Structure 1
Amino acid sequence: MAELLVIRHAQASFGQDNYDRLSDLGHEQSRVVGDALRASGWEPDRLITGTLTRQKETLASMGFSEPPEEHPGLNEYDFHDLLRVRFNGTIPDLVMGDRKTHFRTLRETILDWQKGGLSGAKESWRDFETRVAAARAFATDTDAKRVLVISSGGPIGQLTARALDAPDAQMMALNLQVKNTSLTRFIFSNRAFFLHEFNATPHLADAARAHLLTYS
């Protein structure tokens, strides 16, 4: 059996014009999780990211120098597009600027999307499901025994929900729990794929690193 270790990207730039880049704290989170993996003796045989800048920057700041493979199925759903469709083109300032309002609204929006709503969005829920499944197939079609993936909260929630054979709505409950640089581990073979660990942050357990724990 082999391991697929999926790490959510570090803290991005919430509330900024360009969300798709790491904050200074995000670079620190990345360094800490990379050091923790090496200290534990866990060295990957294969590196994969999505195509998003925040995912690539996370891997780079983790200190792994080999160029990764990329798969767009590991990218986050386009939440800005989904919110624009929901609000007819103009997202209210409160939704984008207030974290509590943002994530409550995002949850409601994704649940509607899953049920076939938000006609006109760039990507349907079924398309999202299909590309995440394709990314899983890509990552596990390998002779590597330790595959390290840098992804985002939505795909991690979806991979976990499918491994548990959970209903669609459970994906969003999982998605909203996923912490920056958390570890979600799957065990796989040609015939099996199951969850071993979800959303773990042992590298942030020390009280001196409590300030590094973030969700967005």
Structure 2
Amino acid sequence: MGAIYLVRHGQASFGAENYDQLSPRGFEQSTVVGEELLRRGVEFTQARAGSLARQRDTAATALKVLGSGIAVVEDERWNEYDHVDIAKYHAAGVQQTDSRAYQAALDGALNAWVSAGDSSPCAETWPRFLERVKGALADVVASLGKGEHAVVFSSGGVIATVCGALMGTPEAGLLKLNRVTVNAGITKLVSGRGGVTLLSFNEHPHFEAEAAELLTYR
């Protein structure tokens, strides 16, 4: 039975001019998650990542720790939803200032985005986002040979939606699971004759004990 490890990117740069870059803590988290994957002794036959800088840099940092020679295949279908666009149309363009206030506004905007369906004015609607995420996962599953393992570096909304879809409720996945995903957390899927199954979600013991100070959600 093959497995797919979904890794959320390290902490991005909230409030900075360019959000899409790892913060110093984000690079530390990426190193730690690489160490955790190394500790597990999993031999990956392929690695994928979205095209966002925070995803690519997390992948490069973690795989360097792993000492893996596999090349990362970029696939923009693993990119996060456009939170700026969603906030623009469904949260009156709220700005990234206070993280808690912004998160509360974004939560409401995501609800509105999902409810609007194809009628949302956003460049990418919820149905289109869901379709591309499911397609990205299907391609990884189809590419795995018997007993092979893949690692994918993506984002919280994507991973939460995948998990929700596997449980039959992709909307609940996005709106509920997304809020608790930790930076550089690990979600494990297994693929076999019966299809793809969610085995674990948002694992983060590598950010406990001495590494607890590195635990972040945003």
Q: Under a length normalisation based on structure 2, what TM-score does the superposition of the two structures give?
A: 0.91
Identity of aligned residues (%): 33
* 2:113 corresponds to 1:113: yes
- SS in structure 1 at match of 2:4: strand
Q: Which moved more, 1:177-186 or 1:64-73?
A: 64-73
Aligned-residue CA RMSD in angstroms?
1.6
Partner of 1:81: 85
2:45/2:70 contact within 8 Å kept: no
Q: Secondary structure at the match of 1:194?
A: strand
| Residues 197, 159 of structure 1: alpha-carbon distance in 2 compared, 3 angstrom cutoff | same
CA distance in 1, matches of 2:55, 2:200: 21
User: Structure 1 unaligned runs (5+)?
Assistant: none
CA–CA distance in structure 2, aligned partners of residues 215 and 59 of structure 1:
18
The ranges of structure 1 where at least 4 consecutive aligned residues each deviate by more than 4 angstroms after the TM superposition are: none
Tell me if 1:153 matches 2:156: yes
- Match of 2:126? 125
Residue 208 of structure 1 is aligned with which of 183, 207, 210? 210
Shift of 1:171: 2.2
Q: Distance in 2 between matches of 1:10 and 1:98?
A: 20
Partner SS for 2:128: helix
Residue 65 of structure 1, CA deviation:
4.7
Whole-Å separation in 1 of the counterparts to 2:200 and 2:3? 11
* Equivalence map 1:31-180=2 (5 Å): 31-62=31-62, 63=64, 64-87=68-91, 91-93=93-95, 96-116=96-116, 119-144=120-145, 145-166=148-169, 168-180=171-183
Q: Which has the higher helix share?
A: 2
Report the AA paired with residue 76 of structure 2.
P
Structure 2: unaligned runs, 5 residues or longer: none
Is the CA contact (8 Å cut-off) linking 1:114 and 1:169 kept in structure 2?
no
Residues 24-44 of structure 1: per-residue CA shift (max 9 Å, x gap): 111111111111211221231
SS at match of 2:71: coil
Report the 3-state secondary structure (helix = DSSP H, G, I; strand = E; otherwise coil) of the residue aligned with 1:176: helix
Q: Secondary structure at the match of 2:116?
A: coil
Q: TM-score if structure 1 supplies the norm length?
A: 0.92
Measured against aligned partners, the alpha-carbon deviations of 1:129-184 in whole angstroms (never above 9, x if no partner) come to 11001101111112341110000011101100011112523421101111000000
Whole-angstrom distance in 1 between the partners of 2:194 and 2:78: 22
In 1, distance between residues paired with 2:61 and 2:188?
20
Q: Contact (CA 8 Å) 1:111, 1:169: kept in 2 or not? A: no
